[in-house]
Amino acid sequence: MRPRFYVPDLDATAACMSLPDDEAAHLVRVLRLGTGAEVEVFDGRGGLWLAEVVEVGKRSASVRPIARATPAPEVALAVTLVIGVLKADKMDDVVRDAVMLGAAGIMPVVSERSEISLSTVDKSQRVARWQRIAVSSAKQCGRAVVPAVGAARLLAAYLAEPVDGVRLICVEPSGTGDGVRSVQAVAKPTSAHVIVGPEGGWSPAELEAAMRSGAVPVSLGGRTLRADAAPLVALTALLTSWGEL
């Protein structure tokens, strides 16, 4: 695989496009590529080009796009992962996995049983960190789309806003109350928000509020999943069931 660089303002007709600072640093200092090296550049919105390195400075690098290339296929419907913020490393893995599975976007929410507060998420600039992880995961999995990681919000604030398509909220095996559906019973929508809880799950009040906002409770089977594996299982199961894996 050729080294891939993320150039959000990519102009495919340019004879010489300088890479953003962090991408240039990676090309120069980590990969130590020289003029003439073949690379790939992508704009994060689906455009991928074969390119040639045309200039290398101490901390800068420029490329010339040569020909359009074919990225990994995108999922035909927009699936957004709405995820109760998990502890540090686990959240990094969840963002990486969601991008790799083809999520269109990631929305972190803070709920009653989250082990981290909204102000801590904001102060620690985690959303910026998760966005960088999304870029790096797109590079690794072959996508030319970088899903946006939204600002963290309280679950209630997220539920208060209407969404296009369906809202699915994943519930634990014990939460087999009224109307819980299996993954197979969820008809393929035009777009979906898949809501997955934090380590401690949802409170009864949160589940009720989600259902009042139109969310359909979905079961991921009879065995209790680890919080950091549940998003991957939810996305894989739904995409498989919809013929989109």
Residues engaged in binding a second copy (CB under 8 A): 72-73, 96-97, 100-102, 140-143, 173, 182-184, 220-226, 229, 232-233, 236-237, 239-241, 243, 245
CA distance 233 to 235: 6
State the nearest-atom distance from the C-beta of 158 to a second copy, in Å.
25
Distance of CA 198 to the CA centre of its chain: 17
State the nearest-atom distance from the C-beta of 7 to a second copy, in Å.
20
Whether the Cβ atoms of residue 147 and residue 81 lie closer than 8 Å to each other? no
CB-wise, 57 or 173, nearer to a second copy? Answer: 173
State the nearest-atom distance from the C-beta of 166 to a second copy, in Å.
18
CA angle, residues 245, 126, 26, in degrees to nearest 5: 75
CB-wise, 53 or 195, nearer to a second copy? Answer: 195
CB-wise, 127 or 225, nearer to a second copy? Answer: 225
State the nearest-atom distance from the C-beta of 100 to a second copy, in Å.
6
CB-wise, 142 or 165, nearer to a second copy? Answer: 142
State the nearest-atom distance from the C-beta of 183 to a second copy, in Å.
6
CB-wise, 63 or 99, nearer to a second copy? Answer: 99
Lay out the sheet containing 48-56: strands in order across.
4-6, 38-42, 48-56, 61-68, 17-18
How many CB atoms are located within 10 Å of the residue 163 CB? 17
- What residues does 55 pair with on adjacent strands? 62
Burial of 204: CB neighbours in 10 Å, binned 0-12, 13-18, 19+:
exposed
Rg (CA), the chain: 20
User: The tokens of 43 are what?
Assistant: 């704009």
CB-wise, 25 or 50, nearer to a second copy? Answer: 50
State the nearest-atom distance from the C-beta of 95 to a second copy, in Å.
12
